Amino acid sequence: MAETEGRNRRKVRQGLVTSVSGAKTVTVTINERIPHPKYKKMMNRSKKLHVHDEHGEAAVGDTVRVMETRPLSKTKRWRLVDVVEKAE
């Protein structure tokens, strides 16, 4: 991934496709485990991202890798890099 190197590092996340919203949009849920700032207990935090899927590769249940990009619409700020694992 040449785009993640150098001056313009872009965030790359991995998550689960929860919805296919439109022709070129999927909703991806990102789950991360972070320690509580004060008590240090591990917590689960999830976030939903709207992702641009140019070729319609992703389906519900797939594990995908997404990368930050320029604003593509009101809510889309991420694009699909690749499908890590297809759903059964």
Find the CATH number of the domain harbouring 42: 2.40.50.140
What's the structural domain count of the chain? 1
CA distance 17 to 22: 13
Range of the domain at 44: 2-85
Of the candidates 50, 53, 48, 47, the one whose C-alpha atom is nearest the C-alpha of residue 82 is: 53
Instruction: Give the model's pLDDT for residue 5.
Output: 62
pLDDT in tens, 21-65: 889 999 999 999 999 999 999 999 999 999 999 999 999 999 999
